[in-house]
Amino acid sequence: MFTIEHDFDATVVTLVDEGAAPLQEDVTLNAFEDCITVNQYDPRREDMVTITLSMAQAQDLAAALNLPEGIYRIKRPTPR
C-alpha cells in the first residue's frame, strides 16, 4: 500500500509494507524541486535514517527498475 500527498513544497509518497512478517518500517519519499529524500525509521538505532538523491539519481533509479542487469548511462539533454 502507498499514499501520495501534495504539500506546499514537496510531494510525499509513503510506502507501507503489508506482506508477511517480518515487516519493514514505512518508507517516506519527499520529492522537492531539486532533490528527493528517502526516510525510514531504524529500530536498531532508534533513529530516522535519511538518504538524499539528486534529481538525476532519482531518474536513474526509476529507469533501473525497468531494465535488465547491466551498466547503463541515461543520455540527458545538454544545458544551454
With respect to residue 14, please indicate whether it lies within any of the assigned structural domains: yes
Domain that holds residue 47: 2-55
pLDDT at 1: 87
Q: Is the pLDDT of residue 72 over 90?
A: no
CB 14 within 8 A of CB 24: no
**Grid coordinates 532519482 are at which residue?**
58
Mean pLDDT of 44-49: 97
Residue 63 lies in a domain: no
Q: Give the position of cell 547503463.
A: 72
Query: pLDDT of 16-46, one tens digit each?
Result: 999 888 899 999 999 999 999 999 999 999 9
Q: How many domains does the chain have?
A: 1
49 in a structural domain: yes
68 occurs within a structural domain = no
Q: Is the pLDDT of residue 71 over 90?
A: no
Banded pLDDT at 78 (limits 50, 70, 90): confident
Any domain includes 8: yes
